[in-house]
Structure 1
């Protein structure tokens, strides 16, 4: 009861803090328009008529420092991350450049030709990957530990809904050991800045900029230093929309054409393993967002990610994981049963 009573008070206090910050760095009378929330605890508000967004990034869960660091790095490379106009790291508040509303997601839904948008994104990614090695070294490594933590989301959150109970320690350990063996080579790569959420929701078309700068970048604060294949794979094997296979093939060739010195065989081997790893991670995240955080909308994407996961495991290198799941999670190919999904929905009603 006390938590419920305190919640509006805490929210009111945060609202006062936000408005005081805006008043110090813009105008006290500007109207703040809340933008739709995403999977994180961050919130964004448009300062109407000011060309700025207020980013509210709670320090306890979403510290502002990584965003500021990666934003600066991207802009130094000539890429379009929002300019930070004012920031209070202790408070977790920042005023950033407003790129408008032209996200790839909205443009594609409105009928914009998809090939030019994806080609621009691939060109932008190739430019990022040509950055001097010192830029990536500023970031933490996307290493075996981090990849394993993400892989565990599948066995800890998604698999229990298949099994009807928590997996045994033996099953969990076997799954993680197998994944660790599969992504060992990719986990050792220190090739590029990996933005980690490079997909249509986080890309924008900036009509007033030329070249790769026309691709606006969002939601990059979790960037790490790792395998170059990761972001291209997350763009082409998107949890939120299907990319036609002929376009995927053309974009892969376009990326490789930008980077002729790249070991294409090693790149594609990383791509295959990281696709399985990411889809496993996303399945776990979407279930966690629904069960723990009450964000049921992410369950709408589960059938697509389940399909992407199945397709990833059809690649020859992933056969050991496919065989393991066939032995221990016999129904994994069928996706979550309706009864399990129904229980998640009922729990949140």
Structure 2
């Protein structure tokens, strides 16, 4: 066996060869990882035609799995200016299948309390790191609380579908057939239709010009209407849903990156903070209600990011 990869969780992976076939052995400690959900969802998603690992053997008590190998090339490694249209087209096609066909029965609801807990990661980890001591001012706290309420309302007013929750370039594998291979789906929920789309197109690990992002996003919208996931009446709200959903995700992700560094000894994730927060500052010019957040980040947070590494 050879080490295959590591991710932001406590899971570890090894690649092994057996009878001419490459397989993946997974060590996923049951006290921290949701292995039952992974096994259940793997069966569900394969049944609707998505390319996810097949479960070949499992020891649930000890958190060991043997699964099929989706290859070694992540989307992150395959994406270029020339390949992006084709690769994102494949990914959006898979996402439409997930949204249109995957059942939501038994999935946790991405409800207001869930969304609020995720937004608290920004406060508890990133803001605590860059603004220690007194922290935010009362006016800043009021601004953030108002924003969080708006972001939660934005998520809940959208059509609710099966949401992967980490549908991005490090969890999608570039495959010769059945592209993309999809990993890390055990935390799926029933939630807003734009969540996975913004995870894909406003990725914390790779960014694209906004014009291309919007072309891909509207391509998803058209397919979603054809598939019955959305209706033509949603067109006027779709872009706002998409952009504000991205604000929620990027605030959460920024907090998680700091937590990975400070709690889990993974400082490599801090290099993704400027891109992740940059998505937020860029929206300040397009949405007046986001201008206070953009100003707060530019004046109070971004200049202090180097302090997180100290």
TM-score (norm 1): 0.79
Distance change in 2, residues 1:36/1:102 (3 Å): closer
Alignment of 1:180-329 (within 5 A): 180-187=149-156, 189=158, 191-207=160-176, 209=177, 213-260=178-225, 261-262=230-231, 263-316=234-287, 319-320=288-289, 322-323=291-292, 326=295
Instruction: Report the Cα distance in structure 2 between the residues aligned to 1:289 and 1:191, rounded to whole angstroms.
Output: 29
Instruction: Report the Cα distance in structure 2 between the residues aligned to 1:285 and 1:237, rounded to whole angstroms.
Output: 16
Report the Cα offset of residue 196 of structure 1: 0.8
TM-score (norm 2): 0.88
1:77 to 24, 48, 59: 48
Instruction: Report the Cα distance in structure 2 between the residues aligned to 1:200 and 1:320, rounded to whole angstroms.
Output: 30
What 5-or-longer segments of structure 2 have no aligned partner?
none
Q: What does the per-residue CA deviation read over 1:137-176, in whole Å, with 9 as the maximum and x for residues that have no partner? A: 2311111111111111111111123323263696657634
2:299 to 323, 331, 348: 331
Q: What does the per-residue CA deviation read over 1:289-318, in whole Å, with 9 as the maximum and x for residues that have no partner? A: 1111110110111111121121244442xx
1:129 to 99, 103, 108: 99
Alignment of 1:46-195 (within 5 A): 46-49=15-18, 50-108=21-79, 113-131=83-101, 135-165=103-133, 167=135, 175-176=144-145, 178-187=147-156, 189=158, 191-195=160-164
Q: How many correspondences in the alignment?
A: 301
Distance change in 2, residues 1:331/1:108 (3 Å): same
Distance change in 2, residues 1:87/1:338 (3 Å): closer
Report the Cα offset of residue 271 of structure 1: 1.2
Q: Is the 8 A contact 2:172 2:180 kept in 1?
A: yes
Distance change in 2, residues 1:185/1:244 (3 Å): closer
Structure exhibiting the larger radius of gyration computed from Cα positions: 1
Instruction: Report the Cα distance in structure 1 between the residues aligned to 2:214 and 2:274, rounded to whole angstroms.
Output: 23
Larger CA deviation: 224-233 vs 167-176? 167-176
Report the Cα offset of residue 243 of structure 1: 1.9
Distance change in 2, residues 1:336/1:85 (3 Å): farther
Instruction: Report the Cα distance in structure 2 between the residues aligned to 1:265 and 1:42, rounded to whole angstroms.
Output: 41
What 5-or-longer segments of structure 1 have no aligned partner?
1-31, 344-349
Distance change in 2, residues 1:73/1:48 (3 Å): same
Instruction: Report the Cα distance in structure 1 between the residues aligned to 2:210 and 2:290, rounded to whole angstroms.
Output: 24
Aligned-partner SS, 2:259: helix
Aligned-partner SS, 2:186: coil
CA RMSD of aligned residues (A): 2.4
Report the Cα offset of residue 177 of structure 1: 5.2
Report the Cα offset of residue 189 of structure 1: 4.4
Instruction: Report the Cα distance in structure 1 between the residues aligned to 2:121 and 2:49, rounded to whole angstroms.
Output: 35
Report the counterpart of residue 24 of structure 1 in structure 2. Answer: none
Aligned-partner SS, 2:25: strand
Instruction: Report the Cα distance in structure 2 between the residues aligned to 1:303 and 1:36, rounded to whole angstroms.
Output: 25
Instruction: Report the Cα distance in structure 1 between the residues aligned to 2:44 and 2:265, rounded to whole angstroms.
Output: 34
